[in-house]
Every structure is written in C-alpha cells, then in structure tokens.
Amino acid sequence: MTNSRVTHSICSIVPPYLLTRLAAAEDPGRAAAAAAARRTLTTLGTVEAARSLPHPPPSRSTGTAFTPTLRRIVSDALGQEELPGTPVRSEGQPATGDAAVDETYEGLGATYHLFSDAYGRSSVDGAGRTLEATVHYGRDYDNAFWDGSRMVLGDGDGEVFERFSKSLTVIGHELAHGFIQYTAQLEYRDQSGALNESIADVFGVLVEQKLLGQEAGQASWLVGEGLFTEHVGGQALRSLKAPGTAYDDDVLGKDPQPGSMDDYVRTAADNGGVHINSGIPNRAFYLVAAALGGYAWERAGQIWYDTITEPNFPADATFAVFAAATLTAAEKRYGAGTEESSAVQSAWKEVNVMV
C-alpha cells in the first residue's frame, strides 16, 4: 500500500486560551513563565504546520486481533525542538534516573495496561503498535502534545508549570488521542474536536484510576493534577466532575469550561473551542460513572470504548450524535432500561445535550 499524505492535528494538553493569558502576564514573578508561554504558542503553530508528512492512513481498528505486546521507546530531545530525539530507554531497560524519562516510560505502560486489561486492546492501534514518546522538548516548553505518531512532553517553565511527565493523566490523555486516531478519527474542530479532547480526558483519568485502584467515588477526576507549581491558584487543567473549577488564579484567570449546553461557548478560536467545550461531554461521563459506582473503567468506560470503536462512527459527530451513540452502546451491551442505559440517558439530559 502506498503512503497517503495525511495531516494530523497537534492535540495539546494546555489550551491556547490559558497560554495566551499567561503570555500576556505583567507580573514580574511570572516573567519567565510569560516568555515561555509565548515561545510555546509560537512553536506549537510551527509544529502543526510541519506535520503534513507522509503517513499511512490510520485504520479504524477495533482491536479484535489482540496481540499482547507492550513496546515502549522514550527519546530525549535534549532541549531542542527536533523530533524524535535520541532514544534513551526502550522496553525492558532499567530506569535511567532521569525523572522525565522514567515517569514517561511508566506512564506509557500504565496506559497500555488500561486498554489491554480492560478492553482487550493491544496498544493505541489495537495491533501492538510501539508506544513512542519524547521528553525534554524545547526550552521551558509549557505543553505536551500528540503529533500523529508520538507523544511529546515539555519540561515546563518552573514558575507556573512543572514538567509535564509528572501527571499520569497527561500521558494517558495524549496517548488516547492516538487511540482516537485509530478508531473514530474525530475531526479536530467544533463539537467533534471537543469530543476528541473529552474522550482523551476520559481515558486519561481512567489510566490513573486503574493504576491507583480507585473507584469512581474515590477519584479526583482532575486532568493535569500536579502540573501547576505551588505559586498557582489551582489544582489542575480541567475537572470532569466540576468543569470550571480546576483553577482560579490571578494571572491565569478562572477555569472557563462549561459543564452544560446552557453555557456552550461559540468561538472561532482553538478550532472552534475544542478545549473549552470539552467540559460538557466530560461532565456527562463523570455523571455516568458516579451513577454506576465501582470502577469507572469497567461499565462507564466500556460504554465509551464501545462507542468510539463502532465501525463507521461519524468523524464529524456532534455532542447529540455522540450522546445517542453512547445510549445505543449501553443498550447493546447491557440492555434497554438497565441501570447502565438509564445512567447514560440521565447524564446527557443533565448536561442538556439530550432532551
């Protein structure tokens, strides 16, 4: 098969609206962070433009041909903005002593095991694809992203952001973008883009919950917890449980995510608000998981997994289309009128996607 030219959107963990606020900061105590945010915003655009590279078109794999093979490669960009960097730890090799390298290596494994153990899926493509990551990308780089083939992590600026490998939900989130790439291929704009971000958040928190053995009622439901330094007024980048409450900082402002269609943000920025509006489907998933109780990766996560791996799922799906598909998936697996299908329907009604 010949390669087709496929452009993959750069799916980053830190939303542009947050970086823009930070880039404009006039607080002397955040000067280095403001400069880092400006560089990050510029670099991310450059990386996005450079990703029109030849790639085989990703197949919409459901992972039915399960091959239980975990393969990891972590590379070091050495502070440069060139990928993939120098390989520094591969599958089976001992810890290096570099926190970013070793945290990332373990995070790749934790993400693999969520999909393998819970859903019988081998890697993001369902066929044992090597999980690749690059750390120490750029200088004081305030972001992490999936570029269509690998996860890339910055070290943060030290004033506002810590190194991005510190948060397992970040690693799980970025690899989940790869999972979406090999299944529904949700377009990265408007509501389908917000679903893309939301599904990555969902599986990002499930990676952490499974590793910690947490039930739904025990989990924090935070994405990016531990990324902010002690000088920031906030816990994380996003909250699935309570969108709009993850941070409230003098420089960064208040978390603007809505948790209901009543507050849906119509904007041309950030590909039509893919990061801000992801709070709506995020809260719907939390409500399903909370209603069902137990381990969220089991029933709630299974419904979302079944939905996203359904053959011919529309890449331009709206929230309403996705909501209806999750209800269909719940009924298909558990039956109509069951606790599971009722929880799904109630959740989407509560966020005013379903009437």
pLDDT at 43: 77
Catalytic residue among 103, 132, 162, 174: 174
Domain boundaries, the chain: 4-181, 190-350
Active site residue 113: no
pLDDT for 134-192, tens place per residue? Answer: 999 999 999 999 999 999 999 999 999 999 999 999 999 999 999 999 999 999 999 99
Q: Are 319 and 299 in contact (CB under 8 A)?
A: no
pLDDT at 55: 41
Answer yes or no: pTM beyond 0.85: yes
pLDDT at 65: 52
- Choose among 316, 269, 206: nearest CA to 19: 269
What whole-number distance in Å separates Cα of residue 321 and Cα of residue 316? 9
Active site residue 275: yes
Q: Which CATH class is domain 190-350?
A: mainly alpha
Catalytic residue among 8, 136, 177, 275: 275
Output the CA–CA distances (angstroms, integers) from residue 175 to 75, 122, 236, in the order listed.
Answer: 16, 13, 19
pLDDT at 27: 85
What whole-number distance in Å separates Cα of residue 305 and Cα of residue 182? 12
What whole-number distance in Å separates Cα of residue 113 and Cα of residue 143? 25
Q: Which CATH class is domain 4-181?
A: alpha beta
The ranges of the chain with pLDDT < 70 are 1-9, 44-68
What whole-number distance in Å separates Cα of residue 207 and Cα of residue 171? 9
- Choose among 70, 80, 129, 143: nearest CA to 105: 70
